Structure 1
């Protein structure tokens, strides 16, 4: 090898870069495989819209119509 990566400043920098990239490995996989696929994005958006909390006006209207019955 041309550069000694067993000790020294360059070795420390290379080790830190390696550690940072490995710590974000799951995020990279998520971004490149899951969110890049259109079907997965559509299903995720559909799921998030379905589970979105109701606004206060919707819940008041529902409660008001329930009391009138």
Structure 2
């Protein structure tokens, strides 16, 4: 199990990522192999499956981490 905070600009911390993740005290917990659909309306990976550790230039911090 991996963990990430808001300073890490990866899919697991992005509001557009629809993969599995757990949240506890401003930290996201996930498996590196987890995949989820990118729901970014204008990102380069729109509607594609992305790993939790991937990232892109359209990253927006997931609300619970703010």
TM-score normalised to structure 1 length:
0.16
Q: Per residue, is there more helix in 1 or in 2?
A: 1
Bigger strand fraction: 2
Higher relative CO (Cα under 8 Å, sequence separation at least 6) belongs to 2
Which one has a bigger Cα radius of gyration? 1
